[in-house]
Structure 1
C-alpha cells in the first residue's frame, strides 16, 4: 500500500531539506571516522611510542577541529531533518484532510473522531521517524560503511571475519522488525478506536452528565483502551529487545575478532599500534550497533502508519471549486448545465436506504417556486433521505431528480460521475440547513462565510433578512465574536437563524431545511417560520417538518408514505407558486 503523496512544491522543499540533512550526516560521520587515522593512530605511534611530546599540540588541534566540525554537522543535520518533518507533516495534514472532506458524506472510513485520531497519530509516527530516525539512519549507516571500508583497508581478513560473525545479528533484527510492524499496526488501530470513543463522549457530554453515564462511557472505552495498551506494550517490548539481542551478538562477533587479531599479533603479521587502531575503529561501531536497532524499530512503526495513511489518500473525482461572492442563482449556466430555475422535478424516482427498505418507488413530482413546501411523513419514511438525495449525497436506485436545473440520477451516486460544472452549479444553486445547524466554534463571520468572500454589507443585510442582525450586534465583538462548539453562546432560535443566513448568502434558487424548528420553543419557532415564509416569496423553500407551525403555512404539503408521494397544494393568500403535479 503506497503512502500519502506530497504536492510538487512541498515535495521539492522536503527533498531539499532531506538532502541537506543527509549531506550533513555524511560529513559528520566521515569526521567521526577520521578521528582514528588522523588523531588516535598518530598519538600512539608518534607521541606514546617515541615520547615525542612536541607532536602532541598539532594533533590536539586536528582532533579538536574534527570534534567541532562533527558537532556543527550534527546540529545542521537535526535542524534540516526537523524542518523536513514539519513541512512534510503540514502538507500531508492539509492534503489528507482536504481529501477526506471531499469524499461523499457517509463514506468516511470510520467515525469523525476515529478518523481524526488516526490521521494525527499515524502522521506523528511518520514525523517522528523523519525527525529522529532518518538522520540517525544516514549518519550511522555512513559510519558503519566508512568504518568497514577503513577496516578492510587495514586488515581485509579480519574485516571479512567481522562481517560474517555479524550476520546473525542482522537476521535477528530483521525478524524482530517484522513483529514490531505488526504490533505497531494493532496499536495504531487501537488509538483510532480510542479516539472515536473519546470524541463520542465529549460530543455528547451533556447527555452523559445528565444521565450520570460516566461508568457507561468508561465501560465502552475500556476494551479498546486495554487492547491499545497491550499492543503498545508488545511494540515497546519488541523494540527494547532489539538492542540487548544485537549487543550480545555483536559482543560474540567482537570476541571472535579479538581472538583472530591476537593470533595475528603473535604471528608478527600486524603491529600493536595497528591492532589498537583496528580495535578503536571497531569500537566506533558500538554507536551504530546501539542506534540502528532503535532506528529500525522507528522505521517499522512509521511504515505501518504510512500504509494506513495511504488508505486515507483521497482519489475520487475532481475537486469542486468554491463559489465566490459574485455567483448568483440567476447567473448564466455553466457549460453543459441547464439554467438555474427554482424547480424540483422527480421522474420515476426510486430510493433505497443503504442496507434497508425502499423509501420511494417510482415516484413522480414537480414543485415550482417561489413557494414554501412542507415535506412530512412518519419517522422512517425517508424524508431526510430524499433531502440528501437532492443534495447528491445518496445514490439513486432508478429514475432522476432534477433540482435547480441540475440532473441527478444513477450516473451520479454520491457525487461520482458529476462534472465539475455540475457540482459547482448544485452547490451554488441549492443551499441546505441541516437538522443540527452544523455551526462551528470560532467567529460569527466564519460561520456565515465558511470560506466564501462576502463583504460586511452583504453579511449584515442577510442577517437582517433573517432577523438576526440585532442579536449579532449585541455580541461583544459583533461579527468577530467567538462562538463555542456547535454555536455555543447563542440560543436555539439564534443558531437556527444564523444557519439560515449562511445558506442564504449565496442567493440560492432552492433552500432545503431538515426539521428547522424541531428543537425550538413556540416563540423561536414562530420567528423561524416567519423567516421561511418571507424567503418563500423569492425562492423555493423545502422544509422537512412535522410541526404544525410549518405545515399550516406551507403552499405545498408533500407526504411520504409506503414509498409513495402524496402532494397537496394550498391556495394560501400569500402563495405565489404555480400548481404541482403528482403520480
Structure 2
C-alpha cells in the first residue's frame, strides 16, 4: 500500500509540475504578446520621429544660405534639439519597456526555480531523490523553457520587422500611376493646348473652377492674377502632376489623360521659378543625361541669351557651376534653366516666372527670343510683370477664377 501511495503522490507531483509548466507557458506567451504590442507602438513612434528629424535636417540643408543670412542658427539649433529629444525619448521608452519585459521574464525564471526547490527539497530530505536528480530536473525545465523563449524572440522579431517595413509598405500601398494603352501614338502637331471647364480643389478648399482657355502658337499665352488665383495649379494640371476633378485638357484634340507621363514629358518642357543646378559643368546641367549635340547645345544657349557668357568663360561649357549653382548669379541660373528646356526642342514650353530674376533689358531680350520660338512652339507662361507682355501675346486673367481673355 505504501508503494502505491508513493506512486500516487509522485504522479500527483508530476501532474502538478506539468500543469504549472503549461500555465507558465500560457502566461509567458500572453505576456510576450502584450509586451510586444506595447513595444511595437513605441518602436513605430521612435522610427517615425527619426524620419521626421531626417526630413527636417534635409530641409535645413536646402535652405542653409537663407538661414545663415538671417542669423537663424539658434532657432535651427533649438528646433533640432526638440526633434532630437523626441527621437531620444521614444527610443528610451522602447528600451525601458523591453528591459521591464526582460526583468519580468527573469523573475519568472527565478520563481520557477524557487517553486521547484520548495517541492524537491522535502523529497531530498526524505531520501526519495538525490542532488543529481534535482540538478537533472532543473536542467530539463530549462530545456523546456527554450521553445517558449524562441516563440518570444520570434514575436519580438516580427514586431521589429513590421516597424522596419512600414515605410516600404506605405510605398507599396500607394496607387500605381495610370498607364494609357495607346500613349505611344501621341505625336502633337499643331500643339494647341485647350483647357475645357477645368476644375480642381485642394484639401484646404483652394483651387480653380471652370477654367477655359486656349494656348497656341504665334505668341506667348500669359497667365496673370493675384497670388493664390490658381496659376501654379494650372501648370500642375498641364504637367499631369495632378488630375482635374472635372473638365478636360486637350492637345490637338487629344485628352492628355490618355497620354503616359513619359510621352507627355517628352513633348513638354518646364522652366521653374526655383532652378535646380548640379555641381557639374554647364553642359551637364543643360543636358541632364540627354545625348550631346553640339549644334543643339549652342542653339539652346543662344536662344536663352547665355551663350556669350559661356563663351567668355575659360572652360566654356565645361565650367563647373558650384554647389546649387552658387558660382552663377540668379539671372544666369535661370537662363541655364531656359537653355535646358529649349535643348529638348519641346512642342509646349511652360515658363513659371522664368524671367523674374533677370534685369529688365535681359528679360526683354529673353522674352523676344521666346516669342520667335512661339512661331513653332506653344508657350504658356506665368508672370506678375505685365510689362513683359506685348500686343501679340494672349493674356488669361485668373483673378478670382473668373476668367477674362483678351
TM-score range, shorter-chain basis? Answer: 0.7 to 0.9
1:172 to 31, 49, 74: 31
List alignment gaps of at least 5 residues for structure 2.
1-13
**Per-residue Cα deviation, 1:451-481 (whole angstroms, up to 9, x for no partner):** 5x41353545533543445655747695584
Structure 1 residues 276, 202: CA separation in 2 closer, same or farther (over 3 Å shift)? same
Q: Cα gap change, 1:288/1:217 in structure 2, threshold over 3 Å: closer, same or farther?
A: farther
Alpha-carbon spacing, 1:424–1:196, altered in 2? closer, same or farther (3 Å)? closer
Other-structure match for 1:484? 323
Q: Shift of the alpha carbon at 1:236?
A: 1.3
Q: 2:159 aligns with which of 273, 276, 300?
A: 300
Change over 3 Å in CA distance of 1:266–1:433 after alignment to 2: farther
Distance 1:163 1:392, change over 3 A: same
Deviation readout 1:173-211 (Å, 9 max, x if unpaired): 322211111112222332333334333333322332333
Which of 340, 357, 382 is residue 189 of structure 2 equivalent to? 340
On the 8 A contact 1:390/1:403 being kept in 2, the answer is: no
Q: 1:319 to 1:242 in 2, by over 3 A?
A: farther
Change over 3 Å in CA distance of 1:344–1:354 after alignment to 2: farther
Q: Which residue of 1 aligns with 2:4?
A: none
TM-aligned CA deviation for residue 359 of structure 1: 3.8
Normalised TM-score (structure 2)? 0.77
Distance 1:562 1:166, change over 3 A: closer
Secondary structure, aligned partner of 1:183: helix
Equivalent of 2:335, from 497, 507, 519? 497
Are 2:379 and 1:379 equivalent residues in the alignment? no
**Distance of 1:552 and 1:496 partners within structure 2:** 21
Give deviations 1:12-38, integer Å, cap 9, x for gaps: xxxxxxxxxxxxxxxxxxxxxxxxxxx
The aligned residue for residue 454 of structure 1 is 291
Q: 1:382 to 1:264 in 2, by over 3 A?
A: same
Instruction: Give the alignment partner of residue 57 of structure 2, picking from 180, 198, 210.
Output: 198
CA contact (8 A) 2:25 2:148 kept: no
For 1:316, the equivalent position in structure 2 comes to 176
Matches within 5 A, 1:246-285: 246-258=105-117, 263=123, 272=132, 279=138
Whole-Å Cα distance in 2 between the matches of residues 369 and 211 of structure 1? 44
Paired position in structure 1 for 2:399: 561
CA RMSD across the alignment: 4.1
The answer to whether the aligner puts 1:543 opposite 2:381 as a matched pair is yes
Q: Measure the CA separation in 2 of the matches of 1:320 and 1:345.
A: 20
Q: Distance in 1 between matches of 2:190 and 2:337?
A: 23
Determine if contact 2:334/2:357 at 8 Å carries over to the other structure. no
CA contact (8 A) 1:173 1:246 kept: no
The answer to whether the Cα contact below 8 Å between 1:320 and 1:424 also exists between their aligned partners in 2 is no
Partner of 1:143 in structure 2? none
Secondary structure of the residue aligned to 1:543 is strand
**d(CA) in 2 for partners of 1:394, 1:422:** 13
Q: Which runs of 5+ in 1 are unaligned?
A: 1-154, 322-332, 409-417, 569-583
Higher relative contact order (CA 8 A, sep 6+): 2
* C-alpha spacing 1:463/1:165, structure 2 compared with 1 (3 Å): same
Equivalent residue for 1:392, pick from 225, 237, 240: 240
Correspondence for 2:72 among 193, 213, 225: 213
Structure 1 position 433 matched with structure 2 position 282? no
Residue by residue over 1:340-378, the C-alpha shift from the partner in whole angstroms, topping out at 9 and shown as x without a partner, is: 3221223344455553456453x5433321432332233
Cα gap change, 1:407/1:553 in structure 2, threshold over 3 Å: closer, same or farther?
A: same
1:219–1:269 distance in 2 versus 1, CA, 3 Å: closer
Secondary structure of the residue aligned to 1:193 is helix
Aligned to 1:368: 216
SS of residue in 2 equivalent to 1:379: coil
Q: State yes or no: 1:514 paired with 2:363.
A: no
Matched, 1:235 2:107: no
Q: Deviations along 1:9-65, whole A, 9 cap, x unmatched? A: xxxxxxxxxxxxxxxxxxxxxxxxxxxxxxxxxxxxxxxxxxxxxxxxxxxxxxxxx
